[in-house]
């Protein structure tokens, strides 16, 4: 992983950092926890300015998030609400979607801000923000703040640790897997709950 990230960063400099982070937002398996410390390390070695690396990473985060936000806005709440009423759509019922919409309407700002610090979730959260119609300026501002802090921490760690930047990856690897595992478990719970909620009316009809 580190070798090809190094090759892109060395070839394109701070711009390469921004492009990699943009891709990381759209393709979550590309970990920013590897890209950002590498950028800090290369900046310390004099390859480019560390502030430029941080700025490019933050712009990349924002652009990637806005692409996914636009996808959610294009799909829209009404279309998803109608889709969730279909029997084959197992991810959510219309009632669950309505509750989720109300929750996001009340706490969406906190969710968007804090999600920037959670692997995979920082990509996924942009889509519901677009679906529920969070004002794009608010979404962009919260994303820029959250991403800016996250990027500063990890670029700074790479700068501080120097050649020992791989320590960050060693610690964050297991943590990322735990978070991913929890998200998978949550998805399974949603599917099982959805399936049971559909079976209940069928059983009631058979008894009648």
pLDDT at residue 43 is higher than 80? yes
pLDDT band at 190 (very low <50, low <70, confident <90, very high): low
Instruction: List C-alpha distances in Å: 40 to 6, 57, 122, 161, 182.
Output: 11, 11, 21, 9, 30
pLDDT digits (tens, 9 = 90+) for 115-135: 787 776 777 788 788 888 889
pLDDT band at 51 (very low <50, low <70, confident <90, very high): very high
pLDDT cut 90: percent of the chain above it? 17
pLDDT digits (tens, 9 = 90+) for 163-175: 666 665 565 555 5
List the one residue out of 55, 16, 50 whose CA is nearest residue 35.
16
For the chain, give the mean pLDDT.
75
The residue written with tokens 């297991």 in the block is: 174
Question: Which stretch of 64-78, 99-113, 171-185 has the lowest confidence by average pLDDT?
Answer: 171-185
Cα–Cα distance for residue pair 53/92, rounded to 1 Å: 40
Predicted local confidence at residue 147, as pLDDT: 92
What is the arithmetic mean of pLDDT over 74-94?
A: 66
Predicted local confidence at residue 58, as pLDDT: 94
């Amino acid at each position: 992983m580190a070798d090809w990230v190094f090759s892109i960063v060395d070839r394109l400099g701070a711009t390469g950092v921004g492009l990699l982070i943009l891709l990381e937002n759209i393709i979550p398996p590309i970990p920013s926890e590897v890209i950002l410390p590498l950028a800090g390390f290369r900046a310390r070695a004099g390859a480019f300015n560390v502030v430029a690396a941080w700025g490019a990473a933050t712009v990349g985060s924002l652009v990637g998030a806005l692409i996914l936000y636009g996808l959610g806005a294009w799909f829209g709440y009404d279309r998803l609400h109608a889709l969730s009423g279909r029997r084959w759509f197992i991810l959510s019922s219309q009632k669950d979607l309505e509750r989720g919409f109300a929750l996001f309407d009340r706490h969406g700002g906190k969710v968007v801000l804090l999600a920037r610090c959670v692997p995979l979730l920082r990509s996924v959260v942009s889509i519901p923000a677009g679906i529920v119609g969070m004002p794009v300026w608010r979404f962009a501002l919260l994303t820029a703040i959250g991403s800016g802090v996250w990027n500063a921490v990890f670029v700074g760690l790479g700068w501080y640790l120097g050649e020992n930047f791989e320590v960050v990856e060693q610690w964050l690897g297991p943590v990322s897997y735990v978070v991913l595992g929890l998200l998978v478990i949550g998805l399974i719970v949603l599917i099982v709950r959805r399936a049971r909620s559909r079976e209940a009316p069928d059983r009631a009809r058979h008894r009648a």
